[in-house]
Structure 1
Amino acid sequence: MKWPDGAICGICFTTALRTRGPCPGCGEVRLLPGRTTDGADNCRDCAGITTTMTCDSCGTETERFRAGHCIRCVLKTDLDQLLHPHSPPDLRLKRLIGVLTEAERPESIYTWMRGAKTKELLEGLGTRTIALNHAAFDTLPSSRSVEYLRELLIHHGMLEDRDRQLAAFERWLVTRILDLEGNPHIQAPIERFARWHHLKRLRATASPEKTLNTAVRSAKQETTESGKFLAWLDTHHELTIAGIKQAHVNEYLAAGPSTRYAIRTFIVWLIKNKEIPRLEIPHRYAATKPLITQHQRLELIRHCIEPNKTPLTFRVAALILLLFGQPVGKIAALKCSDLQPLPDGLHLNLGNTPVLIPAQIAPMFWEHLHHRPNQQTSNRGNQWLFPSTIPGQHIHADTMMSQLRTLGINPSGARNTALRGLVQELPPTLIANALGYSYQVIHKHATDAGTTMASYAGKIPLPTRTPSKPSPPAHE
């Protein structure tokens, strides 16, 4: 293929048809596939290009993706054929087509919908064999494709919202109980414990403002480890819960890994429900707290500030960890609204009092806010500061943890060292209020750091201030 300025390859052709702006020749805002003698991009007419660059369907000046039609028109045609939104009429399916065709990067949507599993799901919606409700989706074989489509529908208001972590635990619990079906002496108490203790508690605490990720992990571990304990009791002593004695608990804890201490909640629950006599089961405390040196912490901060190959998203997350000692799960679940511009600078809401982000790094936070990743397909309007690839969700804590480790950061060590450094400079009570920690946790860090104010900081009155009404944070 040749244009007035010479031959052009496929990659350059595609790039040219995705460059848009004011033409230096005619001043109109349009595609700029040509090139002036001084190297500026210009429009098709000014460049003398004769190649057709207009969609036969909608008349938009753009790349002709298939048979003379642009990618958005091709998407609409294909989705209409899959979803049949008019027979019978379904406003939600019409909206789904609109959401997908209006994505900033429609080529990604086209690739996604051509996948075998996704195409099968869309066809199921189109034939109405898959209803647009959670009950129908719950009956489908669990897969990433199913959950991605479910979350897309939730995010854009085509399915009612629900707590994702709570729903995942409910599905996990059904499978876990079925796995124990062969032994009713184990299955029955584990099901009662999981449903009447953990599930009841999770349902009571679920809210849009709170993530249940950590609580669900703990519930799964305690349920699993309690089942293992009852299986051990049956195998080694031919006993059920009715026969549990202090010696059995001591033997079990002494003979295995530290994860066995997760049975403590189950034992306490059995005692509370008068199913076994009172027993003693100790808490397990870590022998030491992981730490890094303050010099290592400062070097990591310097590395995050300096431009490098690590995505800005994870450098910003690392700075929140290194400066403010926040748990990775809490960082992952921060919202855009937690970045708050006030008269004296940009602040971050972590506790009761917004904390000031140092002026030297505030531009990094603004840059990240304005160019958050994973926004170019069906995830626009995401409220999270660190959005996931899954529509409407924030990045998973494990994913963020992995990325922080690639930066050479030990998350636990960095968090403990950051908190230890902070309590050596400020009263622990102020630190607790600003960073969202309990007084007990921060005072323990102060005691470990050997600060003299640790014993009386709780008596220091907190300064009061009424911040000015902030301007709303910028969103894309």
Structure 2
Amino acid sequence: MTWPLGPVCSPCYYKHRKSPAPCAECCAVRILVGRTAAGNGLCATCCDHEDAAARCRLCTAPADLRPDGLCPHCSLTDQLRHLLADDAGTVPAHLHPLVSILTDAANPYPVLDWVRRSPSAHLLAQLVRQPGSLTHEALDALPQNAPTSYIRGLLVTAGILVKRDENLARLERWVKHTLANLPSHHANIIRPFAQWHTVRDARRRSARGRYTVSAGKGDANNIRCAQQFLAWLDTHGLQLSTLKQPDLDLWTATHPSKASTIVSFIRWAQARRLVTGLDIHYPPSQYPATFQPEDAHHEQLRRCLTDTTLPLDVRITGALIRLYALPLSRIVELTADRYSRDSEATYLTINRHPVILPPTLGRLIEEQIDHLSGTSAHRRQIADELSYLLPGQSPGCPRNPLGLADTLRRHDLPARAARNTAMIEAIADIPPIVMADLFGIQPHTANRWAQLVSESWSHYLAAP
């Protein structure tokens, strides 16, 4: 094919069709088939191409027509009506916000591909034809896979479903499934521990806004460990009510990796007098053992700030870890509104107070925010101004920290060793109490790090 800009091969033709951009003359977002003398892109109308007279049969605007004779926006609206229509052929009123966010995109081509090919779109088409299926409860009953998660996020973004803490909901769903498969004599003990202790505490933490993926996994591990402990008692012919100290010591000796995990269940059982006379021996706290050489640490930071071949999200994450010792669970929860700037500097509010950013990192975060604002509507959290700086695959959800850790490793930017090294460097320069306040670290954690570098904040607190 030949366009005004010259011969176009098939791969480039389809690439251009999927990547419309603002025309340098009319500013309309269209496929750019020509160039100005300065090298800026022109649409077919502005460069008098033979397709200049092509007009959408609905809106009559000059457009890059689809096979149905419609411009991309009108074609998308038409396809969404077919996708979301009920048996009467009309889109229900409660789904109109969903149509609005899906059609509110400068570039409709990604959404057109999503409607045509995505398993999530096919699942949505099935659900809208089933009364009562667009609820959290109905979605919880489906296989918890990527399409289900995506549809849930999309419905929350559109305001059709209320926003909820998915980490907490995942734990509650897992607990319900786990209890249903327990022997009755185990369920009678595990149920109150799981529901009235673990899940209730998780709800309190969620209400404070600090219930992370890692927290949910930790709570599930506590319940799973209690199950394994009761099964071990059965195997050895023991009863929880007659459990003695040597029995508990034998468990911890034969299950050293679970010695700290079982503590939550034993403390709960003692508080309810299910067991008595037991001493809980906490495993000694271990100091971090994985660090980086100083020169390697600084070289990785330099890569994050200057290496343009690295993905933008990798550069931002790697720099935040190495500059501020932030864990991935905290980084993925950062929202775009936490970034600010004035005439002098750029800032990121990590906990309660703005922290000044290096100019290069500030520019990277600005670039990421600009990228988010240009993302197609069905991928961004437009119903919530607090969009995540690192959004996940599902609308309204942050990036999974475990997947982000894998991505960093693939780029030779390990997270754990880098964070430990950054903590050592920061705690040597900043009083622990100040670091805890700025970066949202628990005070006792900051104090342990200070002890590791032979410092203590007691001198800071005693200062006038």
TM-score (norm 2): 0.89
What CA distance in whole angstroms lies between the structure 2 residues aligned with 1:407 and 1:441?
Answer: 29
What CA distance in whole angstroms lies between the structure 1 residues aligned with 2:91 and 2:36?
Answer: 51
What CA distance in whole angstroms lies between the structure 2 residues aligned with 1:9 and 1:388?
Answer: 34
Structure-2 change in CA distance of 1:109 and 1:360 (3 Å): closer
Per the alignment, residue 222 of structure 1 pairs with: 222
Structure-2 change in CA distance of 1:105 and 1:224 (3 Å): farther
User: After superposition, what is the alpha-carbon deviation per residue over 1:165-214, rounded to whole angstroms, capped at 9, x for unaligned?
Assistant: 1111111111111221xx22222211111001011111222237433323
Per the alignment, residue 76 of structure 1 pairs with: 77
Per the alignment, residue 58 of structure 2 pairs with: 57
User: After superposition, what is the alpha-carbon deviation per residue over 1:242-292, rounded to whole angstroms, capped at 9, x for unaligned?
Assistant: 232211211111113413431110011000001111312222345441222
The answer to whether 1:428 aligns with 2:408 is no
Per the alignment, residue 333 of structure 2 pairs with: 333
Per the alignment, residue 406 of structure 2 pairs with: 402
What CA distance in whole angstroms lies between the structure 2 residues aligned with 1:20 and 1:271?
Answer: 66
Per the alignment, residue 458 of structure 2 pairs with: 455
- Equivalent pair of 2:4/2:33 in contact (CA under 8 Å): no
Per the alignment, residue 444 of structure 1 pairs with: 448
- Equivalent pair of 1:388/1:394 in contact (CA under 8 Å): yes
Structure-2 change in CA distance of 1:238 and 1:115 (3 Å): farther
The answer to whether 1:249 aligns with 2:280 is no
Question: 1:375 is aligned with what amino acid?
Answer: T
1:148 is matched with which residue: 147, 150, 175? 150
What CA distance in whole angstroms lies between the structure 2 residues aligned with 1:171 and 1:34?
Answer: 55
What CA distance in whole angstroms lies between the structure 2 residues aligned with 1:388 and 1:374?
Answer: 16
Alignment of 1:173-322 (within 5 A): 173-180=175-182, 183-207=183-207, 209-235=209-235, 237-289=236-288, 290-322=290-322
RMSD: 2.7
Superposition deviation, residue 141 in structure 1: 3.1
- Equivalent pair of 2:128/2:134 in contact (CA under 8 Å): no
What CA distance in whole angstroms lies between the structure 1 residues aligned with 2:360 and 2:107?
Answer: 33
Identity of aligned residues (%): 26
User: After superposition, what is the alpha-carbon deviation per residue over 1:435-473, rounded to whole angstroms, capped at 9, x for unaligned?
Assistant: 22222221221221123x643122346xxxxxxxxxxxx
Q: Which runs of 5+ in 2 are unaligned?
A: none
Q: Which deviates the most, 327-336 or 279-288? A: 279-288
User: After superposition, what is the alpha-carbon deviation per residue over 1:282-331, rounded to whole angstroms, capped at 9, x for unaligned?
Assistant: 22345441222222221111111122422111211111111111111001
Q: Which deviates the most, 85-94 or 362-371? A: 85-94
What CA distance in whole angstroms lies between the structure 2 residues aligned with 1:331 and 1:307?
Answer: 20
Q: Which deviates the most, 87-96 or 387-396? A: 87-96
User: After superposition, what is the alpha-carbon deviation per residue over 1:122-152, rounded to whole angstroms, capped at 9, x for unaligned?
Assistant: 3334324343322222233332212211111
Alignment of 1:342-381 (within 5 A): 342=342, 344-372=344-372, 375-380=375-380, 381=382
Per the alignment, residue 137 of structure 2 pairs with: 135
Question: 2:148 is aligned with what amino acid?
Answer: V
What CA distance in whole angstroms lies between the structure 2 residues aligned with 1:99 and 1:338?
Answer: 24
Structure-2 change in CA distance of 1:315 and 1:222 (3 Å): same
Structure-2 change in CA distance of 1:80 and 1:257 (3 Å): same
TM-score (norm 1): 0.86
Q: Which runs of 5+ in 1 are unaligned?
A: 462-476
